[in-house]
Chains A and B, each alone.
Chain A
Amino acid sequence: MGRATVFTGTMSEFPVNGPGDSPAALELTGLVKRFGTKVAVDNLQLRVRPGCLFGLVGPNGAGKTTTLSMATGLLRPDAGRAAILGHDVWQHPARAKALIGVLPDGMRLFDRLSGAELLRYVGLLRRVPERDIATRSTELLAALGLSDDANTLVVEYSAGMTKKIGLACALIHAPRLVILDEPFEAVDPVSGEHIRTILRGYVASGGTVVLSSHVMELVESLCDELAVVAQGRVLAAGTLDQVRAGSSLQQRFLDLVGYTAAGEGALAWLRSSSSSS
């Protein structure tokens, strides 16, 4: 097992995979992505051990979505490599993709299908035997509280329901690793608890979860390990306690990304409006 340690940026401090180690569930090495002159992901290193519930946290625009897109074969990196359980995503895409389930953020689903049809479609694309598709999709829809809407078109789903059906799509082929971009966004507390239960059970049985979020409380209560990302780089990574380093995660996160409170005079005009009401 690769042991994650807190590190602060340079490659030499990053734990190196020993010869006897089993391959990491997800290993990103030197990933770079530029959009024009903007460097979205800047020589990013990340290693997630199998059987771990891993959180990727960072402020808006930190490069979380770009990183996860490159890890799942949706965006070609300018440099670096991504490997899933030892299979290179860009050299052997078919083998790597077969092992992962993906829930991207900000991309549409085939929303003119009903929830059940969409799950069947994903199952067929993933080469799941037809009989398994039927049983698994019934169970997934029940576990996520979508049974009543199985035959409703996904376009009519609310934002939270769409997240949930997307999660079901990521799980239907029983992948070894699931990569979820903002899985709890727009999801109500009850559904959120359904999702947590599913993810915890999945990890307990040996699966690996990588999820991104910018809600610290959620990551703190759910994840075993995490990485703080900002400006396309990993600022800190390790177990919850290692990253927190005695402080609260929220405070540690703010320290790492360099938060400074706005001065007293900022947005004064906004406050003065209270007198008019």
Chain B
Amino acid sequence: MVAILVKLKLTLLRNALRRSVWRIIGLILGLLYALAIVVFVVAGLVALRWTSVELTADVTVLAFTALTAGWLALSLLVFGIDETLDPSRFALLPVRAREIMPGLLVSGLVGSTGIATVLVSLGLLASWSRGLGPVLATVAAIPIGVATCFLLSRAGTAAFASALNSRRFRDFAFVGIALIGMSIGIVANLAGNLAGGQLGNARAILAQTAGVAGWTPFGWIWAVPADAARGQWLLAGVRLLLACLLVVGLWLAWGHYLDRRLTEPLESARGGGRVRAGGLVDRLYPASPAGGVAARTLHYWRRDPRYVAGIAGFLIGPVILMVTQVVNPEGLPLLIAFAPALLCWLIGASVAQDLSYDGTALWLHASSGLRGAEDRIGRLWSTCTVFLPILVVLTVLGLGLSGAWQLWLPVVAVSIPLILVSLGVGTFVGTLWQWPAPPPGANPFQKGSSGGFPALASFSVTGLVSLILSTPTIGLVIASFWTGWLAWLGLVIGLAIGAITVWQGVVRGGARLDRRWPEVLAAISER
């Protein structure tokens, strides 16, 4: 079964690559990037061989704990999981979860992230080649550690996805994801600050952090070789036992969720799908095509887990920045006050991915003779309805927490033009690239088997162009710290550039859609 599934995965990958040059380029870039990291890390691990046991222990435990936690955090927050082999596809075959799990595990590791993780872990052998004991402990730790990484990402996303799908837990899960992301960011940032603050103590702090990391579930297995090298065999045994129990627990949890997907592969109706007629959302916008688009997308912001998870994703950056600065005694009030501007900069990316999220349902826009510009305007309205209140709250909160109320003018002078520019750019960029996104109700952490390149291009071009168009304003606002009135000038210029960008984004993006509806549909429905 393992060989069959791995072969299936390779066949699927090969066929996907055959269909588009961009996927080949994406794969090569991904592999080169992974290779560079692997070479760098393995070189470091080899170099550790010639340092003390203590330093090797601290560095490796900390690094691999971070790697393991990263598998969970990144699959929840950023990348999603690679479901080239979608378990629900096996639903009609007479197989049980435990029969296909080994195969899914191995084939899941066949991919740049999985291979990189395996190679980097093998590098540990070099670091611990200090005698038979440590080497044996490392040999035992590598497969268990790699399995922990993989199982954490699968079981974690499955648990969160099922929570997100049930209406009752959706809001809770959304908060949960945000909290996980924030706490990881905050801890990392604080650790960095503390270590940076007192260079003399850096070594002691490293040892302390590694000590704590080695007792977290993410670090148990990676601390085993270190214990062995120190000759603390009892400790090594305890942690090995804990790590094995963790793997077994994760395996069972993953099996539980897989079994459910094998027996309920369809996005099942969970009841309670009734809504109130004539709600506020329908009366919020004018009864026009653009108003219709706005109301429909606003419904989706509330009812579609992908959008709910998206809000969390966009909020994490600014909130981490604010919290770390507030918690840190040496935090900069300036950063706290300006953190919400980061969200202003990011919301364009949300408009840019909107078309892809509609999926094949977009045929309705294409066949109804809706003008492209109306589609663009409607999406802008709903995005503003969702994000503007959040932004106002965050900005007031930021100014309040920083205690620097006098910064209101520079903050406003940066934020409002940045919103306009980013929305305008996103409106146009959204018509350039579309990709097949997982449908609503599907696991929002499932990576589209091909979303990669266009999604990345859409995100980075939106961010980059928005930034370039905002430089005059940002420059003037920075200058206003010496000459106050320049902030007003920045605001006026920024408003002008922003208004032109939105106008051009709607006009040009709309015209592009009018010409290219069939191509947009083809890009979205390609599978």
Which residues of A come within 8 Å of B, CB atoms? 72-76, 93-94, 97-98, 100, 102, 104, 106-114, 116-117, 120-127, 130, 150-153, 155-156, 169
Contacts and interface: CB of A to CB of B under 8 A. Distances in A.
Nearest to B439: A108
Contacts of B295: 121
Indicate the size class of the contact surface on chain B. Answer: 35 or more
A124 B292 contact: yes
Nearest to B304: A112
Contacts, number: 110
What 8 pairs between A and B have smallest CB-CB spacing? A124-B292, A97-B369, A156-B273, A153-B273, A107-B360, A130-B287, A156-B269, A108-B361
A241 B518 CA distance: 37
B277 A107 contact: no
A57 to B, nearest CB: 23
A76 B368 contact: no
A121 B296 contact: yes
B277 A126 contact: no
B196 to A, nearest CB: 47
B289 A125 contact: yes
Contacts of B21: none
A112 B440 contact: yes
A74 B368 contact: no
9 contacts: A102-B367, A104-B367, A110-B358, A121-B292, A121-B295, A125-B364, A150-B277, A151-B276, A153-B274
Nearest to B358: A110
B274 A114 contact: yes
A211 B296 CA distance: 29
Interface of B: 267, 269, 271, 273-277, 282, 287-289, 291-293, 295-296, 299-300, 303-304, 358-361, 363-371, 439-441, 514, 517-519, 521-522, 525
A104 B363 CA distance: 8
A116 B269 CA distance: 18
A155 B522 CA distance: 23
Nearest to A114: B275
B471 to A, nearest CB: 38
B282 A120 contact: yes
Given A73-B517, A112-B300, A117 B287 contact: no
B359 to A, nearest CB: 6
Given A94-B369, A120-B282, A127-B289, A153 B519 contact: no
Contact of B361 (A107, A117, A151): A107
Contacts of B282: 117, 120
Given A109-B361, A112-B304, A73 B367 contact: yes
Nearest to B296: A121
Most chain B beta-carbon contacts within 10 A, residue among A102, A117, A123, A151: A117
Contacts of B514: 93
B274 A152 contact: yes
Interface of B is mostly: helix
A10 B416 CA distance: 64
A74 B361 contact: no
Given A124-B291, A155-B269, A110 B518 contact: no
Contacts of A125: 289, 292-293, 364-365, 368, 370
Given A108-B360, A111-B440, A156-B269, A126 B274 contact: no
Contact of A117 (B275, B369, B519): B275
A116 to B, nearest CB: 6
Given A73-B367, A109-B364, A152-B274, 13 more contacts: A75-B522, A94-B369, A107-B360, A110-B358, A111-B361, A112-B303, A117-B299, A120-B292, A124-B291, A125-B368, A150-B277, A155-B440, A156-B269
Contacts of A151: 274-277
A122 B367 contact: no
Contacts of A75: 518, 521-522
Given A107-B525, A108-B359, A74 B366 contact: yes
Contacts of B517: 73-74, 93
Nearest to A77: B518
Contacts of B303: 112, 153
Contacts of A94: 369, 371
Contacts of A102: 363, 367
Contacts of A72: 367
Contact of B518 (A74, A97, A126): A74
Contacts of A100: 367
A166 to B, nearest CB: 10
A112 B269 contact: no
A114 B295 CA distance: 13
B91 to A, nearest CB: 17
A97 B304 CA distance: 29
Contacts of B518: 73-76
Contacts of B441: 155
A275 B184 CA distance: 64
A94 to B, nearest CB: 5
Contacts of B522: 75
Given A75-B518, A113-B299, A126 B368 contact: yes
A100 B363 CA distance: 14
B176 to A, nearest CB: 22
Nearest to B369: A97
A226 to B, nearest CB: 24
A124 B519 CA distance: 24
B376 to A, nearest CB: 14
A169 B364 CA distance: 9
A85 to B, nearest CB: 14
Nearest to B305: A112
A127 B363 CA distance: 17
Contacts of A113: 296, 299
Contacts of B365: 125
A117 B299 CA distance: 10
A124 B288 contact: yes
Nearest to B288: A124
Nearest to B294: A124
B58 to A, nearest CB: 50
A76 B519 CA distance: 8
Given A74-B518, A102-B367, A110-B296, A116 B277 contact: yes
A214 to B, nearest CB: 22
A104 B368 CA distance: 12
A109 B517 CA distance: 17
A123 B282 CA distance: 13
B322 to A, nearest CB: 32
A152 B369 CA distance: 27
